[in-house]
Protein backbone atom coordinates (compact mmCIF):
# COMPACT_ATOMS: atom_id res chain seq x y z
CA UNK A 1 0.00 0.00 0.00
CA UNK A 2 1.26 3.48 -0.79
CA UNK A 3 0.06 6.76 0.62
CA UNK A 4 -0.08 9.38 -2.11
CA UNK A 5 1.48 12.52 -0.72
CA UNK A 6 0.67 16.01 -1.88
CA UNK A 7 2.16 19.35 -1.00
CA UNK A 8 0.45 20.62 2.15
CA UNK A 9 0.31 24.25 3.11
CA UNK A 10 -0.30 24.26 6.83
CA UNK A 11 -2.93 26.95 7.52
CA UNK A 12 -2.53 29.49 10.28
CA UNK A 13 -4.51 28.03 13.23
CA UNK A 14 -5.53 31.51 14.39
CA UNK A 15 -7.38 32.21 11.13
CA UNK A 16 -8.34 28.76 9.83
CA UNK A 17 -8.48 26.39 12.79
CA UNK A 18 -10.79 23.90 11.07
CA UNK A 19 -8.39 23.22 8.19
CA UNK A 20 -5.36 23.30 10.48
CA UNK A 21 -6.97 20.79 12.84
CA UNK A 22 -8.04 18.52 9.97
CA UNK A 23 -4.53 18.38 8.49
CA UNK A 24 -2.93 17.81 11.89
CA UNK A 25 -5.45 15.08 12.78
CA UNK A 26 -4.99 13.22 9.49
CA UNK A 27 -1.24 13.41 9.94
CA UNK A 28 -1.54 12.08 13.50
CA UNK A 29 -3.84 9.25 12.43
CA UNK A 30 -1.46 8.14 9.67
CA UNK A 31 1.55 8.29 12.00
CA UNK A 32 -0.34 6.30 14.63
CA UNK A 33 -1.35 3.59 12.17
CA UNK A 34 1.95 2.94 10.41
CA UNK A 35 5.57 3.84 9.77
CA UNK A 36 6.29 5.19 6.28
CA UNK A 37 9.39 5.55 4.12
CA UNK A 38 10.20 8.79 2.26
CA UNK A 39 8.02 7.74 -0.70
CA UNK A 40 4.91 7.06 1.38
CA UNK A 41 5.21 3.28 1.39
CA UNK A 42 4.17 1.55 4.60
CA UNK A 43 7.16 -0.03 6.31
CA UNK A 44 5.31 -1.41 9.33
CA UNK A 45 1.88 -1.24 10.93
CA UNK A 46 1.70 0.21 14.40
CA UNK A 47 -0.05 -1.29 17.39
CA UNK A 48 -0.23 2.01 19.28
CA UNK A 49 -2.00 5.29 18.70
CA UNK A 50 -5.65 5.19 17.72
CA UNK A 51 -7.81 2.45 19.12
CA UNK A 52 -9.53 0.36 16.47
CA UNK A 53 -13.21 1.21 16.71
CA UNK A 54 -16.34 -0.45 15.49
CA UNK A 55 -16.77 -1.79 11.98
CA UNK A 56 -20.03 -0.38 10.61
CA UNK A 57 -21.90 -1.56 7.55
CA UNK A 58 -25.03 0.51 8.28
CA UNK A 59 -26.00 3.85 9.80
CA UNK A 60 -25.56 4.17 13.57
CA UNK A 61 -25.51 6.59 16.47
CA UNK A 62 -22.20 7.53 18.04
CA UNK A 63 -21.55 7.29 21.77
CA UNK A 64 -18.83 8.18 24.24
CA UNK A 65 -17.26 4.75 23.72
CA UNK A 66 -16.47 5.83 20.13
CA UNK A 67 -14.37 8.77 21.35
CA UNK A 68 -10.70 8.34 20.52
CA UNK A 69 -11.32 5.48 18.12
CA UNK A 70 -11.09 5.06 14.36
CA UNK A 71 -14.40 3.63 13.10
CA UNK A 72 -14.26 1.54 9.92
CA UNK A 73 -17.32 2.36 7.75
CA UNK A 74 -17.63 -0.26 5.03
CA UNK A 75 -20.50 -0.68 2.59
CA UNK A 76 -20.39 -0.92 -1.19
CA UNK A 77 -23.60 0.93 -2.03
CA UNK A 78 -25.74 2.05 0.94
CA UNK A 79 -24.65 5.40 2.47
CA UNK A 80 -23.72 5.30 6.16
CA UNK A 81 -24.95 8.16 8.36
CA UNK A 82 -23.36 8.58 11.78
CA UNK A 83 -25.71 10.47 14.08
CA UNK A 84 -24.29 12.46 16.97
CA UNK A 85 -26.72 12.24 19.91
CA UNK A 86 -27.05 14.98 22.49
CA UNK A 87 -24.84 14.99 25.57
CA UNK A 88 -27.38 13.25 27.80
CA UNK A 89 -28.01 10.39 25.37
CA UNK A 90 -24.44 9.98 24.12
CA UNK A 91 -22.96 10.38 27.60
CA UNK A 92 -20.41 12.86 26.20
CA UNK A 93 -18.17 14.72 28.59
CA UNK A 94 -15.22 17.02 28.02
CA UNK A 95 -13.66 17.00 24.58
CA UNK A 96 -14.43 14.03 22.36
CA UNK A 97 -13.07 13.16 18.94
CA UNK A 98 -14.36 10.42 16.65
CA UNK A 99 -12.57 9.54 13.41
CA UNK A 100 -14.00 7.44 10.57
CA UNK A 101 -12.24 5.57 7.79
CA UNK A 102 -14.44 5.14 4.69
CA UNK A 103 -13.40 1.66 3.55
CA UNK A 104 -16.34 1.09 1.20
CA UNK A 105 -17.56 2.98 -1.85
CA UNK A 106 -20.75 4.18 -0.13
CA UNK A 107 -20.69 7.73 1.24
CA UNK A 108 -20.18 8.36 4.95
CA UNK A 109 -21.65 11.45 6.60
CA UNK A 110 -22.43 12.89 10.03
CA UNK A 111 -25.82 14.10 11.22
CA UNK A 112 -26.74 16.12 14.30
CA UNK A 113 -29.19 14.47 16.66
CA UNK A 114 -31.91 16.37 18.53
CA UNK A 115 -30.45 19.38 20.34
CA UNK A 116 -27.02 19.03 18.72
CA UNK A 117 -25.33 21.69 16.58
CA UNK A 118 -22.94 20.35 13.94
CA UNK A 119 -20.66 22.89 12.23
CA UNK A 120 -19.14 21.88 8.91
CA UNK A 121 -15.71 23.47 8.65
CA UNK A 122 -14.53 25.24 5.52
CA UNK A 123 -12.16 23.22 3.39
CA UNK A 124 -13.49 19.85 4.51
CA UNK A 125 -12.94 17.35 1.69
CA UNK A 126 -15.89 15.56 0.13
CA UNK A 127 -16.41 12.03 1.37
CA UNK A 128 -14.62 9.49 -0.80
CA UNK A 129 -13.54 5.89 -0.49
CA UNK A 130 -10.37 5.55 1.60
CA UNK A 131 -10.91 8.96 3.17
CA UNK A 132 -10.54 9.70 6.87
CA UNK A 133 -13.02 12.13 8.41
CA UNK A 134 -14.21 12.98 11.87
CA UNK A 135 -16.00 15.13 14.36
CA UNK A 136 -14.73 17.03 17.39
CA UNK A 137 -16.88 18.01 20.37
CA UNK A 138 -16.09 21.66 21.06
CA UNK A 139 -18.76 22.39 23.68
CA UNK A 140 -21.98 21.18 25.20
CA UNK A 141 -23.98 19.64 22.33
CA UNK A 142 -21.69 21.40 19.83
CA UNK A 143 -19.51 19.60 17.28
CA UNK A 144 -17.36 20.47 14.26
CA UNK A 145 -16.39 18.26 11.33
CA UNK A 146 -12.84 17.79 10.12
Summarize pLDDT for 100-111 with one digit per residue, the tens: 989 899 999 999
- 109 belongs to a structural domain: yes
**Domain region containing 103:** 51-145
The mean pLDDT of the chain is 77
- 32 belongs to a structural domain: no
Most trustworthy range by pLDDT among 5-19, 70-84, 87-101: 70-84
- 40 belongs to a structural domain: no
Instruction: Identify the residue with better confidence: 145 or 30.
Output: 145
pLDDT, tens only, 12-63: 555 555 555 555 556 666 665 666 667 666 555 555 545 678 899 999 999 9
Task: Report the domain count for the chain.
Answer: 1
Percentage of the chain beyond pLDDT 70 is: 62
What is the phi-psi region of residue 66: left when phi exceeds 0, alpha when psi lies from -120 to 50, beta otherwise? alpha
- 134 belongs to a structural domain: yes
pLDDT of residue 81: 95
Q: What whole-number distance in Å separates Cα of residue 48 and Cα of residue 65?
A: 18
Q: What is the pTM of this model?
A: 0.66
- 97 belongs to a structural domain: yes
Amino acid sequence: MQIIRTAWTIPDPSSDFGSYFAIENINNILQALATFDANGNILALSSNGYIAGRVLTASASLSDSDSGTLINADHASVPIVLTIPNDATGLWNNTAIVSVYQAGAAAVSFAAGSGVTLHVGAGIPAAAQYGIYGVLRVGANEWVTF
